[in-house]
Amino acid sequence: MSRHPIFVFFGGTRKEFRIIQSMVAGVALLLCSAMPANAQSSQVVAIHCGRLIDVRSEKPMVNATIIVRDGRIDSIGTDVAVPAGSQNIDLSHATCLPGLMDLHAHILFNPARGTDDNYLLGSSAYKALYGLKRAQQELSEGFTTLRDPSDFDKYFALVEIRDAIARGDFTGPRMFVAPHALTSTGGHADLNDIAPDVDTIAFGKIVSGPQSMREAVREEIKYGADWIKVYVSGGVMSAHDDPRVQTFTDEEIQAAVDETHRLRKKITVHAIGTDAIKESVRAGVDSVEHGLLIDDETIRMMKDKGTYLIPTLYVLNYIVEEGPKMGFPQASIDKGKAMIAERDRRLRAAFAAGVKICFGSDTIFDEQFVPREFPLLVSLGLTPFQAIQAATINPATLLGIDKETGTLEAGKQADIVAVEQNPLEDIDALEHVKFVMKGGKVVRNDF
């Protein structure tokens, strides 16, 4: 009698194998039928909110209840029925709002190290572990979704962190990543202060010419990029480059945009000077990081095209105020000081004109400082409600996940945070998040 290949080791026949197979299936069926009824039922959570900000209306709901079933919002309102057997979470003295989003996180950056040290000290494996820790810390601060638009790693640690969280291997925020910045020789992501006879490479990818740009875009996407990031101007925290200068040609910028969109991805640019911002918007980028020296013409262009702006305000204040204590290069501190007043004037004009704004932190500092971006957004003209929209519905739309999250509505992922005070009256309340739920799972509850 013939033997089943899997059964050969045990000397069994095909008939014996089929008998055992039937027995295993029967035992499995018996075990399933013997499971308690509650083990097979849906997990239901009822969250009772004193106030609820739905980010579509400036008037919050009072005494609202959110029913969460299997990670999604099942129903929401002031008179919803609470299913029997639900787990109840009492936030009746708090304000609930959608999970927050940070579109300019740098989770691989260690604030205790300088820019060069962050790249040169530590393997890609170390950075993946460290980055996971930072992502989890930002989740604890209420940020259920992060975009990391390039980071300090030669390889693809960001992709691995994103995928491990998405698989459920680790708790963490929903992530979108641009693994590396594409930069020019001597640009913001080049190691310009390293001696020329030291054999090293930039922490960004050096690109020269339109075809080189297209090839770099393809490689990033090949290895898992959600977004493409291009440094089209100099920066503050880099040596020997000028934030006001456009570092790529118009043709190189256009090639980056065309190739990214042809491959159905999105592209953002680091752009501080007016020329770099304007050319990037003209080329069709999806968003602009910083945009500190934007002019009136470019403001009109961004509004007409619907280009998003991620202004990253607090990081410049941090460089100027904390830089001496942190050991930042004096040249970087001086760059920051030289543009703060101009930044405030120009971004105030962009906010007033109605340019689409998204929250971004640029985390070269510890995660507990990330919410300090909110009061600065308000100080330059956004209302508290608009500042909250900049960290919820606006980034969800830019990321293309607005059907899944970004608002508290039935059918969407249960990404919910809560603070003790009302941030519509005092935006500083968002610096003290006490409750975090991501996808229906409680990450933090300090109430």
Q: Is the pTM here over 0.95, yes or no?
A: no
Rounded to whole angstroms, what are the CA distances from 110 to 8, 90, 113, 233? 55, 36, 6, 24
Residues 375 and 290 in one domain: yes
User: Which range marks the domain in which residue 274 is found?
Assistant: 100-399
Residues 65 and 202 in one domain: no
Residues 86 and 148 in one domain: no
Instruction: For 41-78, give the DSSP string.
Output: SPPEEEEEEEEE--SS-SS-EEEEEEEEETTEEEEEES
User: From its phi and psi, is residue 147 left (phi > 0), alpha (psi between -120 and 50) or beta?
Assistant: beta
Residues 176 and 275 in one domain: yes
Residue pair 152/106 in contact (Cβ under 8 Å)? The answer is yes
Residues 194 and 331 in one domain: yes
pLDDT in tens, the chain (447 residues): 444 444 433 445 555 445 445 444 443 433 443 444 333 346 899 999 999 998 998 899 999 999 999 999 999 999 999 999 999 999 999 999 999 999 999 999 888 765 555 556 778 899 999 999 999 999 999 999 999 999 888 899 999 999 999 999 999 999 999 999 998 765 555 564 555 655 555 467 889 999 999 999 999 999 999 999 999 997 666 555 787 889 999 999 999 999 999 999 999 999 999 999 999 999 999 999 999 999 999 999 999 999 999 999 999 999 889 888 888 888 888 888 888 989 999 999 999 999 999 999 999 899 999 999 999 999 999 999 999 999 999 999 999 999 999 999 999 999 999 999 999 999 999 999 999 999 999 999 999
Question: Which residues fall within 8 angstroms of residue 31, CB to CB, at 6 or more apart?
Answer: none
Residues 328 and 421 in one domain: no
From the list 1, 38, 43, 37, the residue with the least C-alpha distance to 18 is 1
Q: Which residues pair with 67 in a beta bridge?
A: 46, 75
Rounded to whole angstroms, what are the CA distances from 309 to 283, 393, 408? 15, 14, 24
- For 305, how many CA atoms within 13 A lie in the half-sphere containing its CB? 20
Residues 93 and 104 in one domain: no
Return the residue matching tokens 């799972």.
441
Residues 9 and 90 in one domain: no
Burial of 276 (0-12, 13-18, 19+ CB in 10 A): buried
Q: Are strands 174-178 and 181-183 parallel, antiparallel or unpaired?
A: unpaired
Return the residue matching tokens 């006879």.
197
Residues 59 and 110 in one domain: no
Angle subtended at Cα 379 by Cα 378 and Cα 384, rounded to the nearest 5 degrees: 15
Residue pair 266/225 in contact (Cβ under 8 Å)? The answer is no
pLDDT of the residue at 240: 58
Total of domains in the chain: 3
DSSP conformational letter for 404 = T
The domain that holds 76 is classified in CATH as: 2.30.40.10
What are phi and psi for residue 410, nearest 5 degrees? -60, 135
Residue pair 234/187 in contact (Cβ under 8 Å)? The answer is yes
The domain that holds 127 is classified in CATH as: 3.20.20.140
Residues 29 and 49 in one domain: no
